């Protein structure tokens, strides 16, 4: 294929009128040769449009020499739409409408592939069900047809903590606690055992433990990238997700972690069996659970690269 010059730009995406409760616009980015295959990259609820360069959130998969390389691909990233007041949660099908608007904004009739992990995988499935003509291939990582009941229960507790923080003027502390709770589900007991010592050091009931210090640090960093209200909107969106896999006919590569507590292997197997098109499933042994897609990006790239590049 003859490639033209590489361009990179951020741009505004106008939300469809029916989604104006989520705001008027969101932002997206596109990088790479204009005549290269268009690859959409979607991550978890904390993911954003920054994919290429020093601030890219998925190094090892996206970038120079990666499975998705802006020298060979046209790479589209998206800031998910969310209700800035925290009062409403978009469905993943509504988020798919936002992605279609982003495709229209760059003049793309369809994406050659969507690579979606966690929430991004849910949105990829929703788009493939609702707009099958807009995508050729799917790479779905650690996402299923519907949320697992245990995952919903955990996230509801997190949202209750954040809502209580907003009501009491302690929203950032509440968001930090919710993020720490989430990290316990993103990672695995085996990783915590390998990294930390259990127990607390003194008789203070709210003293800080070794693993607790890690969770506090991760939680305290979270308000820099996520507001409490946006968290409520997108966390609840995860639990609104519901698709019928039989309606999805695009070829799909499914990747999961055998240690994932949020999307257990049984859910990935069920999705692979129920999809209406050809599906290839890989369940990887990994210490990092749901966060495998971030911690093992090069492993995922070795699987996803050939699939993404297929004609």
**Which of 118, 142, 171, 237 is the catalytic position?**
118
290 as an active site residue: the answer is yes
Residue 147 in contact with residue 264, Cβ under 8 Å? no
Residue 271 in contact with residue 102, Cβ under 8 Å? no
**Which of 142, 233, 290, 291 is the catalytic position?**
290
Q: How many CA atoms lie within 13 A of 280 on its CB side?
A: 11
Residue 95 in contact with residue 121, Cβ under 8 Å? no
Residue 267 in contact with residue 148, Cβ under 8 Å? yes
Pairing of β 279-284 and β 252-257: parallel
The CA–CA distances, whole Å, from 268 to 28, 239, 261, 275 equal: 29, 17, 12, 11
Determine which helix (DSSP H) or strand (DSSP E) holds 284, and give its type and residue range: strand 279-284
144 as an active site residue: the answer is no
Alpha helices in the chain (DSSP H): 92-105, 119-130, 149-168, 171-186, 189-195, 210-221, 228-240, 265-274, 292-295, 297-309
227 as an active site residue: the answer is no
Q: Which positions are annotated as active-site residues?
A: 118, 260, 290
């Amino acid at each position: 294929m003859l490639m033209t010059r590489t361009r990179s730009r951020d741009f505004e995406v106008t939300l469809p009128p029916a989604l104006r409760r989520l705001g008027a616009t969101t932002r997206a980015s596109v990088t790479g040769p204009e005549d290269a295959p268009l690859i959409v990259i979607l991550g978890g609820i904390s993911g954003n449009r920054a994919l290429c360069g020093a601030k890219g959130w998925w190094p090892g998969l996206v970038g120079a020499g990666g499975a998705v390389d802006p020298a060979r691909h046209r790479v589209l990233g998206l800031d998910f739409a969310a209700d800035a007041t925290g009062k409403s949660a978009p469905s993943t099908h509504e988020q798919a409408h936002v992605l279609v608007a982003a495709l229209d904004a760059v003049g793309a009739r369809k994406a050659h592939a969507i690579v979606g992990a966690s929430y991004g995988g849910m949105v990829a499935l929703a788009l493939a069900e609702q707009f099958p003509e807009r995508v050729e291939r799917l790479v779905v990582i650690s996402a299923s047809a519907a949320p697992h009941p245990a995952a919903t229960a955990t996230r509801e507790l997190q949202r209750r903590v954040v809502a209580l923080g907003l009501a009491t003027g302690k929203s950032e502390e509440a968001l930090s606690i919710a993020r720490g709770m989430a990290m316990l589900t993103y990672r695995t007991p085996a990783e915590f055992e390998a990294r930390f010592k259990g127990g607390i050091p003194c008789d203070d009931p709210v003293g800080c433990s070794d693993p607790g210090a890690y969770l506090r640090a991760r939680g305290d960093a979270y308000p820099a990238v996520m507001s409490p209200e946006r968290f409520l909107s997108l966390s609840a969106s995860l639990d609104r997700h519901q698709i019928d896999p039989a309606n999805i006919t695009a070829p799909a590569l499914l990747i999961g972690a055998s240690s994932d507590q949020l999307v257990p292997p049984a859910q990935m197997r069920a999705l692979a069996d129920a999809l209406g098109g050809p599906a290839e499933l890989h369940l990887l042994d990994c210490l990092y659970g749901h966060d495998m897609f971030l911690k093992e990006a090069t492993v995922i790239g070795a699987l996803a690269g050939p699939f993404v590049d297929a004609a």
